[in-house]
Amino acid sequence: MNGPLRLGIAGVGTVGAGVIQMLERSSAAMAQWQIPEIRISAVCARDRAKKRDVDISAFEWFDDPIELAKDDKIDVFVELIGGEDGAAKEAVETALKCGKHVVTANKALLAHHAVELASIAEEKNVALNFEAAIAGGIPIVKTMRESLLGNRITRVYGILNGTCNYILTRMQAEEREFADVLREAQEAGYAEADPAFDIGGHDTAHKLALLTTLAFGTVTSFDSIYLEGIERISSADIEAADELGYRIKLLGVALATESGIEQRVHPTMVEKHSAIAEVDGVTNCVAVDGDFVGDVMLVGMGAGAGPTASSVISDIVDIARGIILPPLIRPVAALLPIKRARMRAHAGGYYIRLSVADRPGSFAAIAGRMAEQNISLKSIVQRPPAGEISRRPGNRPTDKPMPVVMITHDTTEAAIQKAFALIEQDGHVQEPPQMIRIEKL
C-alpha cells in the first residue's frame, strides 16, 4: 500500500468518538509495530454542531453517509450508524461496490444481509470486517476465522447481551423483581428507554445468527432462531434456581445435530459453579466447542465505547497490513443452506413452575398429564407463597394458588407444551406455566 490508509467514519457517537480517540493515542505505538499509517480523512453524522468528546474539525465533513462511501479520498468506510436497512445498508453496499473496504459494528445489518454484502466484498476483493458486531471487545470473529481453522465446530454459545446479564445478576444478588431492576438499569444507562430489543432476545439473536454462519458454514438465517426473552423471569424463578444449584442466564446457543442446525435464544439454567454462571454484570462471554481444541471460552466487555472501538481498530489494522479474508470464513459460494434441526430431546431437562389451585386432586391431575406425555419428573417441590404461614392440620383448602416447581429428566419441548395445554384446559393452574431449559455446558 502506498501512502496512509484513509478512513471515512460514518457515525461519530460513543463508538465513533472512541475510535478517533484510540487512533490518536496509539499512532506512535502503531508506527513502532510497523503498521502502515492510518489516517482519518472524513466523518459523517446527523448533527455537525453536536458537542462531542473529540475534536473533528480537522476532518472533512459529509452530511450524507452514501456520499462519504463514494468519496475517492477514502480507502475504508467505517460504518457505525446502526440499523438493519436504510442509510446504513445503502452506504455499506455503495462502499463495497466502489471497491472500498468496510469495517462495521452493525450486527442487525449483518444478521439480515451478511451473505449479500459478503458476496459483493468477494467480487470486489475488499474486506468486510465486523469483529465489533459480536460481543464488543471479545475477539471471537478473529478467533474463529484464524485460530480455530481446522477444527470441526460442534457448538457455539454464550452470554451475548450485557443488559440482560446485568438484570439477571442484580435480581440474583439483591432478591429483587425484574421490573424493579430493569428500571434501575435504564436509569444507570445499561438499558435503553425502550428495552424490548435487548430483553426480548433480539440483540442476542442477531449475534447468534452470525456466529452460526462462522461456526457451521451455513447461510445466515436470523428467522431460523427460536427466540425467547427474559421478561417472564421472576424472583421466584431466581430463588428456586439458587436452591436447586443453578443460575439463570440468557444464552444464545447454536449446535450441529443429525437433523440440522439448532439455533435458540432463551433463559437457561446453568450449574452455579460452572464458568459461565460466574460471568456477571454487563460482561459477555462466547464459547466454542471444537473437536481438536475442546471447549474455548472468551470473556470480556460486550459493549461500550472502549471495547467496541478496540475491535473496530483491530479490523482496520488488518486491512492496513493487507490481510483480506473471506468475510464469512468460507466463500459465499461454499455456504450451505440452513437446515433447521427437528425437535429433539433436550439433554439437560427442564425447570417448570406452575401456579396450582390449592384444592384436592390438582397435584395428582398435573402429574398424570405429565405422565401421559412420557415426561419423567426428577424432582417436585411444592412451595408456599412468599410470606404465607402454612395452614394448620385440619384447615380446609383455600383455593389460593400454590407454586409448584418440577425438574424433568430429558424430554422434548413438544411434549412439555402439550402437557401444559392439557393442564391449562383442566383448570388446575391460575397463570401461564413457566418453563426454563437446563443446559449442560
CATH for 381: 3.30.70.260
Last residue of one domain, picked from the residues 245, 273, 301: 301
Number of domains in the chain: 3
Q: Is the pLDDT of residue 387 over 90?
A: no
| Confidence (pLDDT) at 383 | 63
pLDDT at 394 over 80: no
In contact, 219 and 213? CB cutoff 8 Å? yes
pLDDT for res 209: 97
185 lies in some domain: yes
Which whole number is the average pLDDT over 9-28? 93
Residue tagged active-site, from 51, 207, 249, 400: 207
Question: What CA–CA distance (Å, rounded) separates 398 from 362?
Answer: 13
Distance, CA of 109 to CA of 178 (rounded, Å):
30
Same domain, 144 and 128: no
| Within a domain: 98 | yes
Burial 136-149 (b: 16+ CB within 10 A, else e): bbbbbbbbbbeebe
| Most distant CA atoms of the chain, gap in Å | 91
The per-residue pLDDT for 393 is: 46
Nearest CA-CA partner of 420 in 412, 411, 429: 429
Is residue 355 a part of any domain in this protein? yes
Assess whether pLDDT exceeds 80 at residue 254: yes
In this prediction, residue 402 carries a pLDDT of: 80
- What is the model's pLDDT at position 391? 44
Claim to verify: residue 146 and residue 263 sit in the same structural domain? yes
Instruction: Flag whether 269 is in a domain.
Output: yes
Please report the pLDDT score of residue 348 as a whole number. Answer: 74
pTM value > 0.75: yes
Residue 97 falls in the annotated catalytic set: no
CB 433 within 8 A of CB 354: yes
Query: pLDDT per residue over 59-70, tens digit each?
Result: 999 999 999 999
The verdict on residue 311 lying in a domain is no
146 and 257 part of one domain: yes
What is the CATH classification number for the domain harbouring 47?
A: 3.40.50.720
73 and 11 together in one domain: yes
Final residue belonging to a domain, choices 301, 331, 357: 301
Q: Check residue 392 and give its pLDDT.
A: 42
Residue environment code for 172-182, b if the CB has 16+ CB neighbours within 10 A, otherwise e: beeebebeebb
211 vs 363, more confident? 211
103-136 pLDDT, tens digit per residue, is 999 999 999 999 999 999 999 999 999 999 999 8
| 129 and 158 assigned to the same domain | no
Q: Please say whether the beta carbons of 84 and 112 come within 8 A.
A: yes
DSSP sequence for 234-276 = -HHHHHHHHHHTEEEEEEEEEEEETTEEEEEEEEEEEETTSTG
Q: Is residue 171 located within the same domain as residue 80?
A: no
Measured between alpha carbons, how far is 408 from 410 in angstroms, rounded to an integer? 6
In a domain? residue 337:
no
Look at residue 346 and give its three-state secondary structure.
Answer: strand
Same domain? For 198 and 86 the reply is no
328 within some domain: no
Say if residue 241 is in the same domain as residue 350. no
**Do 163 and 205 have their domain in common?**
yes
Residues 263 and 380 occupy one common structural domain: no
- Domain match, 148 and 71 both: no
In a domain, 325, yes or no: no
If asked whether residues 200 and 93 sit together in one domain, one would say: no
For the chain, the average pLDDT equals 90
CATH number for position 152:
3.30.360.10
Note the pLDDT of residue 398: 54
Model confidence at 331, pLDDT cuts 50, 70, 90, reads: very high
- DSSP-derived secondary structure for 298-342: EEEE-SSHHHHHHHHHHHHHHHHTT----TTSS-GGGPBPP-BPP
Q: Using 50, 70 and 90 to split pLDDT, how confident is the model at 345? A: low
Residue-number span of the structural domain to which 394 is assigned: 345-438
Give the pLDDT confidence score for residue 220 in this predicted structure: 94
